[in-house]
Amino acid sequence: MTTDVSNLQLRNPWSWYPVVASADLSPGTVLPVVLNGEKLAVWRSSKGKVNAWHDRCPHRGMRLSFGAVNGETLICPYHGWTFGDDARCVRIPAHPNVIPSRAARARLLAVAEVDGHIWICSGEPARSEPDADSAYTPVRTMHLQLSMENAIVAFLTLPCAAGVKVQPPEHIEWSTSNAGAVVARSEALTASFALPSSVFCGATTETGKSTYLIRIQPTDLGGCAVQASMTVGGDAVAFNRALVAFRAEIAQDKIKSWLVSASSKFEAAVPVLVDGLTQGEAP
């Protein structure tokens, strides 16, 4: 995708994006995350509350993701400024008797924990909570050296399942559903893409059908992260192996070249979504 409108659909400040699996953020843990090129610190307090802030201390700009969680606070590793879960500084070690200014605070973002993932919205959310799906359970987070656009096309068109070879299909039928999702059908895979970043997949295997959900987190222009889930009760170990093999295959020059050509067909299949957005409809 190259148009400004289509790019905004995928990377926008009003949509929720899953950035961390809940199981990967235990109490007392802080993790660095990149969303739409912005460095963020995601942390869970000792009581389990999840917070998402810009990864920059307001004092000297140190990365807060290098800090430490202490109870319900996050401590900057540079000068020890301590921030409460409302992002305001509550203690300055160099001046223990001084009440910190209200201006001394980290910049926080909207965060939600739904269906096994932690979601972030970088601006004003169009919906009060993420559009999650409890039919799926998180399996892993995987980073790809692909643009978000090419990653979407990869999962829309190439099967990611145990025992299924990752190769470009001879024919793909593109369509758009009544709900505005882009649907791609081939012999080995039926998949649909819903804004801003969800790809619902059903791959045909020797033993039946593998159903999984891929949510793509835009990190920077040259890469993305994948939050991969599968239907509850599925074989998570086999799916994890398939994901690792998938990542290796789509890194091959032949597949990369094919994805570029397939992306133009994907873009041609989304005029309804583009028109809807230009008319002021938030996804």
Q: What digits encode the pLDDT tens for the residues 102-124? A: 899 999 999 999 999 999 999 99
* Among candidate residues 96, 157, 130, the one with its CA nearest the CA of residue 19: 130
Average pLDDT, the chain: 88
- Kind of pairing between the strands at 182-185 and 50-54: unpaired
Q: How many Cα atoms sit within 13 Å of 118 on the Cβ side?
A: 26
* Among candidate residues 96, 122, 88, the one with its CA nearest the CA of residue 8: 122
Two domains, one topology: 17-121 and 136-278: no
Q: For the residues 32-43, what does the mean pLDDT come to? A: 95
* pLDDT for 167 beyond 60: yes
Q: Which residues contact 47 (CB under 8 A, 6 or more apart)?
A: 27, 71, 72
Diameter over CA atoms, the chain? 71
Question: What are the residue boundaries of the structural domains of the chain, listed by start?
Answer: 17-121, 136-278
Fold of the domain spanning 17-121: Rieske Iron-sulfur Protein (2.102.10)
pTM for this model (two decimals): 0.88
Cα 263 to Cα 2, 25, 87: the distances in Å are 10, 34, 41
Q: How many Cα atoms sit within 13 Å of 156 on the Cβ side?
A: 29
Of residues 264 and 95, the one with the higher pLDDT is: 95
Q: What digits encode the pLDDT tens for the residues 265-275? A: 887 766 544 43
CATH 3.30.530 correct for 136-278: yes
